[in-house]
Amino acid sequence: MQWFRACSFVPRICHVLIFVNLLFGYVVLGQETSALPDAPSVNQTQSGPSNPAPRNPQHEPSKNHIFWIIPNYRSDENPADIKPLTPREKMKVALDDSFDPSAFLVAGIFAGLSRVQNQYPSFGTGGLGFAKYYGGAFADQAVGNIMTEGLFPIALHQDPRYFVKGTGGFWKRTEYAISREVITRGDDGRNHFNTSELAGNAVAAGISNLYYPAADRSFGNTANKWGQQIALDTFFNVAKEFWPDVRQKLFKHSAPENETSVDPAGQRAK
């Protein structure tokens, strides 16, 4: 029974992913799209009007937060000059994603979802029970980030960033975003199997058994937690890919004049 109760969370994530895909599809399909070349190419973007309307930067959404809430420090929207990150820079990405103020809110949301499902009965109910759920959710988040964005990329010489494709049709870009779960860019500039993401989350799921109640520790719960994180990271990849389009569509946020864009297919990865 614990296995089926734990697994019930995965379809919910998949339903959210499908809904958000359709939402982003509406935004992207409303814009003009162009065919992708087979090989990486650099295209000069069209210059905007000579006298663009002034914008108030205080009201523009940050590229570091998707919908103002989801931390987005590992997303790179300006790939004109890609340089490998140093170990210190990789760890900084992991810590920024883990301890950004909005990360505390995100942990609360996932703690609430787990509490509603009574995913860990040993935590109990009431305020104390929710505090335990919250502590577990925040630890899952932080440990996962440190493993997949910091320690594993440093050890394996892989790049933890998600490089926005930015060109092509909706489904082509969605396919690219999903593929970044298994393909990543190495420090050598080549595509690598994304061991940092898959193995890093597996290790994080195993570590979680140290702070979850012994009664709720099982192979099923650990495997389900790994699967949840992979599903969530896939969802966040799609969100990272289309967040620049949403910003531009909803807030008329245009790219700086003379900014270049690079097709990441075949040479860039997460």
Kindly report the three-state secondary structure assignment for every residue of 28-42.
HHCCCCCCCCCCCCE
Q: Can you give the pTM of this predicted structure?
A: 0.71
pLDDT of residue 61: 55
Residue of higher predicted confidence among 267 and 174: 174
From the list 219, 224, 179, 218, the residue with the least C-alpha distance to 201 is 224
Q: Give the relative orientation of helices 219-251 and 9-29 as an angle to the nearest 10 degrees.
A: 20
Characterize the bridge pairing of strands 183-185 and 191-193: antiparallel
In whole angstroms, give the CA distance from residue 152 to residue 143: 12
Q: Residue 52 — very low, low, confident or very high, per pLDDT cuts 50/70/90?
A: very low
Residue of higher predicted confidence among 49 and 155: 155
pLDDT of residue 18: 46
pLDDT digits (tens, 9 = 90+) for 110-136: 999 989 988 888 898 899 999 999 999
> Does 33 score more than 70 pLDDT?
no
pLDDT of residue 72: 83
> Does 17 score more than 60 pLDDT?
no
pLDDT of residue 221: 83
From the list 41, 21, 14, 44, the residue with the least C-alpha distance to 255 is 44
Characterize the bridge pairing of strands 260-262 and 42-44: antiparallel
pLDDT of residue 64: 78
| Residue 83, both tokens | 């340089």
Q: Residue 37 — very low, low, confident or very high, per pLDDT cuts 50/70/90?
A: very low
pLDDT of residue 207: 96
Mean pLDDT of the 156-172 span: 93
| Residue 158, both tokens | 């892989």
pLDDT digits (tens, 9 = 90+) for 192-216: 999 999 999 999 999 999 999 888 8
Neighbours of 205 (CB within 10 A): 23
pLDDT of residue 62: 67
In whole angstroms, give the CA distance from residue 177 to residue 163: 9
> Does 160 score more than 50 pLDDT?
yes
Mean pLDDT of the 67-90 span: 83
User: What's the first-to-final CA gap in the chain, in angstroms?
Assistant: 36
